[in-house]
Amino acid sequence: EDKVVQSPLSLVVHEGDTVTLNCSYEVTNFRSLLWYKQEKKAPTFLFMLTSSGIEKKSGRLSSILDKKELFSILNITATQTGDSAVYLCAVSAGGTSYGKLTFGQGTILTVHP
Amino acid sequence: GAVVSQHPSRVICKSGTSVKIECRSLDFQATTMFWYRQFPKQSLMLMATSNEGSKATYEQGVEKDKFLINHASLTLSTLTVTSAHPEDSSFYICSARYPPGQGNSPLHFGNGTRLTVT
């Protein structure tokens, strides 16, 4: 059974801090790992990672994948109150499971002013 | 812009009634769509895979007769919660991705439907 585990489950920081969110996985026929941000509605897409060691960046957010150790991290630098959300990690498998995502529990990030 | 549209965004119904939720892919044909459910403070759980022109594939523990899925066209999948009960109250989200061969694209989500059964 595919499995995705995120840590920490919750995190409280102050504006300007840097945070690192972790995601480890076990999946048969791995295809990609995805990060989403969820704020009281449906998740919005952040990153999709398929290759090890290649950092993806978008503004203050960045992410990297390690397919040997089966984990990914999501970094947010200079956090702002608008970054407060649930961050979801998910893995996508190929083959007959193409398109299906298995989600982790999520990390609840709270950024105080 | 949005690539997956879901309707309605919120619905309140009485116990015992049925509710239909629609999911549309806006600028592509989705042969496969996915339905997820999310309870408060929990992650998304896959309910079923909706396949155009064939029966849906349900995940273990999801009642087929209660959650009817119809994928009658390449751009529309519907989820009908039949004989709804208060414990069916949840956030239902559909998703779709571009078909294989059109790039390794991420799964795009609709805006979700908050169902409250009274």
Full pLDDT tens readout for chain B, 118 residues: 668 999 999 999 999 999 999 999 988 888 889 999 998 878 899 999 988 888 899 999 999 999 999 988 889 999 999 999 999 999 999 998 766 665 566 778 899 999 999 9
Measured between CB atoms, which of A42, A48, A106 is closest to B110? A42
Measured between CB atoms, which of A101, A104, A105 is closest to B107? A101
Average pLDDT over residues A28-47: 89
Give the per-residue pLDDT at B106. 72
Helices (H), chain B: none
Using a CB–CB cutoff of 8 Å, tell me whether B92 touches chain A.
no
Give the per-residue pLDDT at B6. 95
* Gap between the Cα atoms of A65 and A39, Å rounded: 24
Give the per-residue pLDDT at B39. 86
What are the chain A neighbours of B109 within 8 Å (beta carbons)? 36, 42-44
Q: Which residues are bridge partners to A20 per DSSP?
A: A75
Q: What is the pLDDT of residues A53-95, one digit of tens each?
A: 999 999 999 999 999 999 999 999 999 999 999 999 999 887 6
Nearest CA-CA distance, residue B64 and chain A, Å: 18
Enumerate residues 6+ apart whose C-beta is below 8 A from B61. Answer: none
